[in-house]
Chain A
């Protein structure tokens, strides 16, 4: 906990956490991606949404993501303390008690689901509640520390926002929101494993069974390629089933082809090489972030251009 001592006196009582520490608990960078994909799901739906209710839906998705992120940080404070990337977070740095993070996460989660239910609809609220439970309990508490497939399972949590956005707009679950879910689900493993390949030592130190730590680099690179191969036809499916038009179809084909080439470079050309330069892995990781933004932006552009 933060404390300030006066010279010549005993250690004073710890200071309360600053509001910025609470904000940091919500993982603002992750939240920006969640807001973007949720908004895309909402805007790509084939109905016009009242702006106030649309704003409310996105606010609830953001609050739910923030709440589940705070619960994640509460549960993983000890692990975060062992990793350079996460050691400065409010809990491992000792700027607030663990219980504060837990209570903050629970309150945010509860508020997000309640406002979604009252303001937008019960189905969207139910899916939002399940997504929070999925990330905080199924992924963080149960499977992440137990299986090297943790990233595959965790991908499900990140895949909910566009689905919730779509359901908030239409009030029903159809094939399109399930496809949007599936695209992010299959995008997540190559995205995170590319990152894990060049921060491998950090995860190993914290005892998290990341794929490169458990199965080795060779297997991880091969699996990155498998997911990239699967992602191409999956990203094209909204076009093939006429859920999206030619603007989306052309964008999805181009983006997925580049993604596949970068994954090939990581998987095929570097197998068994004892390299120290992680350029291809870093390029794949950087492009994967752009890929998701561009693909969903194309989906919305397609809906607004093609009607």
Chain B
């Protein structure tokens, strides 16, 4: 018998993965803006 992925489990996996990506991007932006501020203050 072929096995089929559970759509609900698959949906949760994709959304969880996307949330991690988005969270990572937001943290990256915070770090970037911190260093931009330091760089601009330094002239």
Question: What is the interface of chain A, defined by CB distance below 8 A to chain B?
Answer: 3-7, 12-13, 15-19, 50, 52-53, 56, 59, 115, 118-119
Query: In the complex the two chains form, what is the Cα distance from A59 to B33 in whole Å?
Result: 12
A4, B17: Cβ atoms closer than 8 Å: no
Name the CB-closest residue of B to A18. Answer: B14
Query: In the complex the two chains form, what is the Cα distance from A7 to B10 in whole Å?
Result: 16
Residue numbers in A under 8 Å from B32 (CB-CB): 56, 59, 115, 119
Name the CB-closest residue of A to B28. Answer: A59
Question: What is the interface of chain B, defined by CB distance below 8 A to chain A?
Answer: 4-7, 10-11, 14-15, 17-18, 21, 32-33, 35-36, 38-40, 42
Query: In the complex the two chains form, what is the Cα distance from A119 to B40 in whole Å?
Result: 8
Which 4 pairs from chain A and chain B are nearest by CB? A52-B39, A12-B7, A119-B36, A52-B35
Residue numbers in A under 8 Å from B33 (CB-CB): 119
Residue numbers in A under 8 Å from B15 (CB-CB): 16
Q: With A19-B17, A56-B32 known to touch, is A50 a contact of B39 (CB < 8 Å)?
A: yes
Q: With A4-B4, A4-B7 known to touch, is A16 a contact of B36 (CB < 8 Å)?
A: no
A6, B11: Cβ atoms closer than 8 Å: no
A16, B14: Cβ atoms closer than 8 Å: yes
Q: With A6-B4, A56-B32 known to touch, is A15 a contact of B14 (CB < 8 Å)?
A: yes
Taking a contact as CB atoms closer than 8 A, the residue among B5, B10, B18, B36 that contacts A53 in the complex is B36
Residue numbers in B under 8 Å from A56 (CB-CB): 32, 36
Q: With A4-B4, A4-B5, A6-B4 known to touch, is A15 a contact of B10 (CB < 8 Å)?
A: yes
A261 to chain B, nearest CB (A): 46
A-B contact pairs, 7 of them (CB 8 A): A15-B10, A15-B11, A16-B14, A18-B14, A59-B32, A119-B32, A119-B40
Residue numbers in B under 8 Å from A4 (CB-CB): 4-5, 7, 10
B17, A15: Cβ atoms closer than 8 Å: no
Q: Which of A15, A17, A115 has the most CB of B within 10 A?
A: A15
Query: In the complex the two chains form, what is the Cα distance from A56 to B32 in whole Å?
Result: 8
A93 to chain B, nearest CB (A): 16
Q: Which of B4, B7, B18, B35 has the most CB of A within 10 A?
A: B7
**Given known contacts A5-B7, A119-B33, what 10 new A-B pairs fall within 8 Å (CB)?**
A4-B4, A15-B11, A16-B11, A18-B18, A19-B17, A50-B39, A50-B42, A53-B40, A56-B32, A59-B32
A13, B7: Cβ atoms closer than 8 Å: yes
B4 to chain A, nearest CB (A): 6
A19, B18: Cβ atoms closer than 8 Å: yes
Residue numbers in B under 8 Å from A53 (CB-CB): 36, 39-40
B39, A16: Cβ atoms closer than 8 Å: no
Q: With A4-B7, A4-B10, A6-B4 known to touch, is A19 a contact of B36 (CB < 8 Å)?
A: no
Residue numbers in B under 8 Å from A115 (CB-CB): 32
Taking a contact as CB atoms closer than 8 A, the residue among A15, A19, A50 that contacts B21 in the complex is A19
Name the CB-closest residue of B to A56. Answer: B36
Query: In the complex the two chains form, what is the Cα distance from A119 to B15 in whole Å?
Result: 31
